[in-house]
Homo-oligomer: A and B are copies of this chain.
Amino acid sequence: MGTTTGRTASRPGTSPAEPKYWQLRTALTDALDAEFSVGQVLPDERTLAARFGVARATLRQALDQLELEGRLQRRRGVGTTVAPPRVGVDVSPAGQTWPGAEDDPWTVTGLTAVGAPPAVARALDVPRGTPLSLVGRVLVAAGQPVAIERLYAPPGPRPAAGADEVLAALRDQPLEGQDRSVELGSADAEQSRGLDRLPGSPVLLVTTRYTAAGQVAAVSLATYRADTCRLTFALAGSAAAPVRVGHRP
């Protein structure tokens, strides 16, 4: 890996043009493309910083970028490795189905009785604190947990009913529609634990509202690891161009 960066000179009297960490990012990107293969470990941060002649904090700013872009993977106590391509996760409806249908790849992790949190209360159009069932689920791809879901639905017919019963109760209703939104967020303490990340890691927050009988019947808040995931949508009519599920060499 080269040591020279100087593509924007930033001599005294010249406009700095691009910040150092951005030049570093570019240099590292090129190096990754040219000289590194997936899974390979990079030199440690102190060494890299010295090699590029910058402070460690500046180098870290560049590595932060590359991690955000899914090019690098950093693990405390281990090192920094070249990340595999992002896993493509299909989030298209694949027909109008309730969660927990036939080929649903999610795994139930638990069931809790909760009062509707503000955001959920708003989406379900019920008063906040309304008793709800909270079904926890996790999505595993390529051997790693890539997403965590909190599914809020009306409580099952009996207390202490299993999560499967809650999902079955939903499936008993005709599903009229669903809408989804995707936005950037950061993992809270609980989520970061489930996703094997540190608190504050960038995540893609997917909110799904399921409607039945003319009203919102369930709300799902799914949190995807932004570093390792690519969300794919196979839209109507695209059967001729199936979306591939991600791969890891």
Contact = CB atoms under 8 A, between A and B. Distances in A.
Instruction: Give chain A's interface residue range (CB within 8 Å of chain B).
Output: 35 or more
Q: Is the interface of A mostly helix, strand, loop or mixed?
A: mixed
Interface of A: 18-19, 21-22, 25, 65, 68-70, 86, 88, 92-93, 96, 118, 122, 175-186, 189, 199-200, 202, 204, 209, 211, 214, 216, 226-227, 229-243, 249
Copies in the complex: 2
Given A22-B199, A179-B243, A241-B216, A236 B68 contact: no
Contacts of A227: 184
B226 A179 contact: no
23 contacts: A18-B199, A22-B189, A68-B186, A68-B202, A69-B184, A70-B183, A93-B235, A122-B249, A175-B237, A177-B237, A178-B237, A178-B238, A179-B238, A179-B241, A181-B231, A182-B230, A183-B204, A183-B226, A183-B231, A202-B202, A209-B241, A211-B240, A233-B233
